[in-house]
Chains A and B, each alone.
Chain A
Amino acid sequence: GQNIDQPTEMTATEGAIVQINCTYQTSGFNGLFWYQQHAGEAPTFLSYNVLDGLEEKGRFSSFLSRSKGYSYLLLKELQMKDSASYLCAVRKTGGFKTIFGAGTRLFVKA
């Protein structure tokens, strides 16, 4: 089968660092995406990993271990506007299909 697991909710403090984990089991793997989605809005692209290792982009970093079926999104210097849902999504091989996890709702408090 295919499964993508993320924590349902996380809370962190403004200025802190938070790590959102994602584990996946899919039939075929062709990359992992992280999207940010504010309530009632469309998902916006944050990062893409297809090889093992860390990709850094400003305050956001994403890590992938294909052998472990594991990724994380690291958010540094948290701001109140970072309060949103973070979706982990896996692109399957052989086509356009992308499977989304249920998302992690992040609450940033002052």
Chain B
Amino acid sequence: DTEVTQTPKHLVMGMTNKKSLKCEQHMGHRAMYWYKQKAKKPPELMFVYSYEKLSINESVPSRFSPECPNSSLLNLHLHALQPEDSALYLCASSQPDLLAGAFRDTQYFGPGTRLTVL
């Protein structure tokens, strides 16, 4: 099973709303990622959690707040977003390969949440 699930598939929110994106994987992966992807652009890394600890924050505005409640779940809390934050938000997971080199691991992506901010 190489499935990463994300909910919701689509989300429309106003600039004053608070919402959350959810991601789940049951592959036993210990690294989880949030990416943002605009149309016809590559995915851009936002956050990485490794063993439930925040490992990378790519200078993401504080209106995006990640949370990793356990090794299978990853949330992205949204508050006071701007219309330019409208994008496809992708979650991914991977299992660091400690034998081959800790970071030579393949990321598996979820289907994404298409977010529209009005």
Contact = CB atoms under 8 A, between A and B. Distances in A.
A50 B43 contact: no
A45 B114 CA distance: 21
A43 B104 contact: no
Interface string B86-118: 001010001010001101101111111010000
A31 B100 CA distance: 11
Nearest to A92: B103
A102 B103 contact: no
Interface residues of A, number: 25
Interface residues of B, number: 28
Contacts of B111: 41-42
Given A31-B104, A50-B104, A87-B42, A96 B109 contact: no
Contacts of B50: 96
B69 to A, nearest CB: 19
Interface of B: 31, 33, 40-45, 48, 50, 55-56, 88, 90, 94, 96, 100-101, 103-104, 106-112, 114
7 closest A-B pairs by CB: A100-B42, A42-B109, A96-B48, A42-B111, A43-B109, A42-B112, A31-B104
Interface of A: 30-31, 33, 35, 40-45, 48, 50, 87, 89, 91, 93-98, 100-103
